[in-house]
């Protein structure tokens, strides 16, 4: 058997909608399908404003511009995340202050953030790892107390909730991804959500190359021009057409993914009970959107052996982030604080194949292989 780590799932309507977008002869940004996607998100999740972007990386870069991140600022970010989270702020000249994870959950430890806040701190950027919420009440309370902004890296957390509130609707701004490895995809793709009115108008301008073209197209002004810095962050309507086909099937996609997650959990919980592995801990305040299934080995050596063993069996299981505070780019810039929980997840975490079309038989095969390994 050969089982890859990821396989993009197509709902069947993607090509039809792309053809419809092409036929409409409006294939640049903010066409019909883009509008449909924006409406879908705003209605279903209550985001004050949704703006499609070409990636989550772009949405994070937009957020960094919107909060006026610049040299002299400090941005608090977990060290266990993808490079795009800090890079967006590094591009603006800001200083990154990396925070550690909880010992039993890769998310930023909300109880350790306050000690990192200084008069220079401008924002906190929580990353909802595996689609499982960070403790947003604590983070938003710190933001209120110290007058900080919160940008959620919501790349992995479509359709996931914190105490009933949709992720991406809690921070001042949030960035989602529709990369082909996420639950809902468009190949490359992303979205900025804006929950604070202060940023609404400027977000449209930054996304449209620093012009007020969006207002012009709505007939609010009679000519448009260069009014701010900006870039080209909006996707072609062809991409939005693909995405809309996915959104129409979000319930179906999520139901299947949750079933796959539960199958793994049921198949591996005995190994957890016997202390051989650890599995994801979902806090009471969080939902599980079945973005990924991971397990934690005892240490790096055991994880390397497990990944190699699964590879021999034809199963492509993969590790995840390397600690960003000790990365080649950042290690000389880090202040030297040890971040032991980040390092522990970097060493011990293994992600199992996870995609809509993964069959029950394939899952049984993977679970058997893991049980055999630990026998
Ligand atoms: C996938 C991901 C990103 C980047 O998303 P792109 O759409 O590929 O730019 C950023 N942050 C996290 C946590 C991610 O998982």
- Encode the chain (375 residues) as per-residue pLDDT tens digits: 999 999 999 999 999 999 999 999 899 999 999 999 999 999 999 999 999 999 999 999 999 999 999 999 999 999 999 999 999 999 999 999 999 999 999 999 999 999 999 999 999 999 999 999 999 999 999 999 999 999 999 999 999 999 999 999 999 999 999 999 999 999 999 999 999 999 999 999 999 999 999 999 999 999 999 999 999 999 999 999 999 999 999 999 999 999 999 999 999 999 999 999 999 999 999 999 999 999 999 999 999 999 999 999 999 999 999 999 999 999 999 999 999 999 999 999 999 999 999 999 999 999 999 999 999
Instruction: Find the length of the chain.
Output: 375
Residues 205, 185, single domain; the answer is yes
CATH number, domain with residue 351: 3.90.1150.10
Residue 35 has what pLDDT? Answer: 98
Calculate how far, in angstroms, residue 372's C-alpha sits from the geometric centre of ligand 1.
33
In a domain, residue 4? The reply is: no
Q: Which residue has the tokens 């319930």?
A: 251
Domain final position from 202, 218, 247:
247
Residues with Cβ within 8 Å of residue 328, at least 6 apart in sequence: none
Both tokens assigned to 277: 């592995």
Report the distance separating Cα 24 and Cα 358, nearest Å.
Answer: 36
Given 247, 265, 291, the domain boundary residue is 247
Same domain assignment for residues 261 and 282: yes
Domain that holds residue 314: 250-374
The helix (run of H) or strand (run of E) holding residue 35 is helix 32-45
Q: How many CB atoms lie within 10 A of CB 276?
A: 18
Is residue 141 domain-shared with residue 269, that is, in the same domain? no
| 59 vs 40: CA distance, rounded Å | 18
pLDDT for position 126: 98
Pair 215, 307 in one domain = no
Residues 235 and 270 in one domain: no
pLDDT at residue number 230? 97
Whether 278 and 350 map to the same domain: the answer is: yes
Same domain for 50 and 199? yes
Instruction: In whole angstroms, give the CA distance from residue 154 to residue 192.
Output: 9
In this structure, the answer to whether residues 240 and 364 fall within a common structural domain is no
What pLDDT score was predicted for residue 78? 98
Q: Are residues 215 and 259 in the same domain?
A: no
Phi, then psi, of 313 in degrees rounded to 5 = -85, 5
Between CA 83 and CA 64 the distance in angstroms is 14
In a domain? residue 180: yes
Task: Tell me the CA–centroid distance for residue 220 and ligand 1, in Å.
Answer: 34
The CATH number for 33's domain is 3.40.640.10
Q: How many domains does the chain have?
A: 2
Q: Are 237 and 27 in contact (CB under 8 A)?
A: yes
In a domain, 260, yes or no: yes
Q: How far is the CA of 156 from the centre of ligand 1 (A)?
A: 7
Picking from 220, 247, 274, the residue at the C-terminal end of a domain is: 247
Q: Whose CA is nearest to atom 8 of ligand 1?
A: 179
Q: How many Å lie between the centroid of ligand 1 and the Cα of residue 225?
A: 32
d(CA 45, CA 34): 16
3-class SS of residue 79 = coil
CA 5 remoteness from chain centre: 18
9 lies in some domain = no
The answer to whether the CB of 189 falls within 8 A of the CB of 8 is no
Nearest CA to ligand 1 atom 5: 56
115: Cα separation from own chain's centroid: 25
Q: Indicate the helix (H) or strand (E) that contains 305.
A: helix 300-312
Determine the distance separating the centroid of ligand 1 and the alpha carbon of 86, expressed in angstroms.
11
Residue 10 CA, chain-centre distance (Å), reads 20
Q: By three-state DSSP, how is residue 129 classified? A: helix
The atom number, within ligand 1, closest to the CA of 190 reads 7
Q: What is the pLDDT of residue 323?
A: 98
Pocket around ligand 1 at a 6 A CB cut-off: 55-57, 81-82, 84-85, 127, 153, 155-156, 177, 179, 190
Within-domain flag for 100: yes
- CB 249: neighbour CB atoms within 10 A? 17
Q: What is the pTM of this model?
A: 0.97
Confirm whether 101 is domain-assigned: yes
Under 8 Å between Cβ of 264 and 270: no
Identify whether 8 is part of a domain. no
Res 123: pLDDT? 98
Structure tokens at 33: 């399908």
Nearest CA to ligand 1 atom 2: 155
Pocket test of ligand 1: the residue of 91, 156, 157 to mutate, having most ligand atoms within 8 Å of its CB, is 156
Give the mutation target among 171, 179, 318 for probing the ligand 1 site: most ligand atoms within 8 A of CB: 179
Tell how far the Cα of 178 is from the centroid of ligand 1, in angstroms.
8
- Conformational region of residue 256, where left means phi above 0, alpha means psi within -120 to 50, and beta covers everything else: alpha
Residue 2 lies in a domain: no
Measured in Å, residue 255 CA sits from the centre of ligand 1 at 23
Closest by alpha carbon to 355, among 308, 290, 305, 307?
Answer: 290
Residues 344 and 200 in one domain: no
321 with 200, same domain? Answer: no
* End-to-end C-alpha distance for the chain, whole angstroms: 21
Please tell me whether residues 42 and 164 are part of one structural domain.
Answer: yes
Number of other CB atoms surrounding residue 327 within 10 Å? 15
Which atom from ligand 1 is nearest to the alpha carbon of 182?
Answer: 1
DSSP state, residue 22 = H
Instruction: Output the CA 159–ligand 1 centroid distance in Å.
Output: 16
């Amino acid at each position: 058997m050969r089982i890859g780590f990821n396989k993009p799932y197509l709902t069947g309507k993607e090509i039809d909608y792309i053809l419809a977008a092409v036929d409409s002869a409006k294939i640049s940004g903010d066409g019909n399908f883009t509008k449909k996607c924006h409406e879908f998100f705003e209605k279903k999740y209550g985001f004050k404003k949704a703006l499609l972007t070409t990636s989550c990386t772009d949405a994070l870069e937009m957020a960094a511009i919107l909060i006026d991140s610049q040299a002299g600022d400090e941005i608090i970010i977990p060290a266990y995340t993808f490079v795009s989270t800090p890079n967006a702020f590094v591009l603006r000249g800001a200083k990154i202050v990396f925070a550690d994870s909880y010992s039993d959950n890769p998310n930023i430890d909300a109880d350790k953030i306050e000690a990192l806040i200084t008069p220079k701190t401008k924002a906190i950027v929580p990353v909802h790892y595996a689609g499982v919420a960070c403790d947003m009440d604590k983070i938003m309370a710190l933001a209120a107390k110290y007058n900080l902004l919160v940008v959620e890296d919501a790349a992995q957390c479509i359709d996931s909730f914190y105490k009933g509130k949709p992720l991406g609707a809690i921070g001042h701004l949030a960035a989602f991804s529709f990369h082909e490895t996420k639950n809902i995809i468009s190949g490359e793709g992303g979205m900025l959500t804006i929950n604070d009115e202060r940023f609404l108008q400027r977000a449209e301008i930054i996304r449209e190359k620093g012009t007020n073209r969006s207002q012009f197209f709505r007939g609010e002004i009679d000519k448009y021009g260069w009014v701010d810095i900006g870039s080209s962050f909006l996707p072609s309507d062809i991409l939005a057409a693909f995405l809309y086909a996915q959104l129409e099937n979000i319930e179906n996609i999520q139901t299947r993914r949750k079933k796959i997650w539960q199958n793994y959990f049921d198949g591996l919980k005995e190994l957890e009970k016997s202390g051989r592995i650890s599995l994801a801990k979902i806090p009471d305040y969080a939902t599980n959107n079945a973005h990924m299934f991971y397990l934690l080995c005892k240490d790096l050596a055991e994880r390397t052996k497990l990944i190699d063993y699964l590879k021999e069996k034809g199963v492509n299981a993969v590790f995840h982030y390397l600690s960003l505070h000790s990365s080649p780019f950042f290690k000389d810039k880090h202040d030297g604080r040890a971040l032991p929980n980040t390092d522990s997840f970097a060493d011990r975490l293994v992600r199992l194949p996870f995609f809509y079309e993964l069959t029950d038989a394939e899952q049984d095969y993977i679970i058997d292989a893991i049980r055999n390994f630990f026998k």
